[in-house]
Structure 1
Amino acid sequence: MAQQQVLVITGPTASGKSALALAVAAGHGGTVINADAMQTYDAFPILTAQPTAEERQSVPHALYGVLPLSETLSAARWRDLASAEIERCLTAGRMPVLCGGSGLYLRTLMHGIAAIPDAPDGLRDQANAEWKAMGAEAFRARLAEKDSAIVERLKPGDRQRHVRAWEVWLATGRPLSIWQKGEGQPPPWRFATVLLAPERGWLRARIETRFDAMLKMGVLDEVRAVFDQKPDARWPGLKAHGAPELFAHFRGELTLEDARRIGIDHTRQYAKRQMTWFRHQMTPDVVVDPTTDLGLEQTEKLLTKIET
Structure 2
Amino acid sequence: MPHTSDNLAVPIIVGPTAVGKSEVALEVAERLGAEIVSADSRQVYRYMDIGTAKPSIEDRRRVPHHMIDLVDPDVVYNAGDYGRGAAAAIEQVRAAGRVPLVVGGSGLYIRALLEGFCAGPRGDIELRERLRQEARTGGTQRLHERLAEVDAGAAVRINPNDEQRIIRALEVYELTGRRLSDLQQAGGEVQGLIAVTVGLRRERSDLYRVIAERVEAMVCHGLVDEVRGLLDRGYRPDLNSMRALGYREMIRHLTGELTLEEAAKLLIKNTKALSRRQMTWFRAMSDVEWIDIEREEDLSSRADRVVASFESRGFHPAGGPDKFA
Q: Provide TM-score, normalisation by structure 2.
A: 0.85
1:160 aligns with 164
In structure 2, the partner of 1:301 is 308
1:1-308 alignment runs, 5 A limit:
2-116=6-120, 123-124=127-128, 126-147=130-151, 150-151=154-155, 154=158, 158-172=162-176, 174-280=178-284, 282-291=285-294, 295-304=302-311, 305-307=314-316
| Stretches of structure 1 lacking an aligned partner (at least 5 in a row) | none
Shift of 1:88: 0.7
SS at match of 2:202: coil
Which amino acid is 2:34 matched to?
A: G
Shift of 1:151: 4.6
SS in 1 for 2:6: coil
Shift of 1:58: 0.9
SS at match of 2:171: helix
How far did residue 17 of structure 1 move? 0.9
In the alignment, the residues of structure 2 paired with residue 43 and residue 120 of structure 1 have an alpha-carbon distance, to the nearest angstrom, of 23
Alpha-carbon displacement from aligned partner over 1:12-68 (angstroms, at most 9, x marks no partner): 111111112111111121111110010111122111101012111111111212211
Q: Partners in 2 of 1:120 and 1:21 — Cα distance?
A: 36
How much does 1:256 deviate?
0.6
**Paired amino acid for 1:302:** S
1:138 offset after TM fit, Å?
1.8
> For 1:169 and 1:219, how far apart are their aligned partners in 2?
37
Q: Could you tell me how far 1:8 is from its partner in structure 2?
A: 1.0
Aligned length in residues: 307
For structure 1, which segment, 139-148 or 217-226, has the greater mean C-alpha deviation from structure 2 after superposition?
A: 139-148
Which shows bigger deviation, 22-31 or 140-149?
140-149
Question: Is residue 79–residue 105 contact of structure 1 (8 Å, CA) maintained in 2?
Answer: yes
CA distance in 2, matches of 1:194, 1:284: 9
C-alpha displacement at 1:155, in angstroms?
A: 5.7
Percent same amino acid at aligned positions? 36
Contact kept in structure 2, 1:119 and 1:171, CA below 8 Å: no
Q: CA–CA distance in 2 between the matches of 1:298 and 1:258? A: 39
Q: Is the 8 Å Cα contact of residues 29 and 63 (structure 2) preserved in structure 1?
A: yes
Residue 133 of structure 1 deviates from its aligned partner by 3.8
SS at match of 1:165: helix
Letter in structure 2 aligned against 1:19: E
Matched AA of 2:8: Q
Task: Classify the secondary structure of the residue corresponding to 1:40.
Answer: coil
Query: Which region of structure 1 is more displaced relative to structure 2, 132-141 or 190-199?
Result: 132-141
CA distance in 2, matches of 1:247, 1:183: 37
| TM-score (ref. length: structure 1) | 0.90
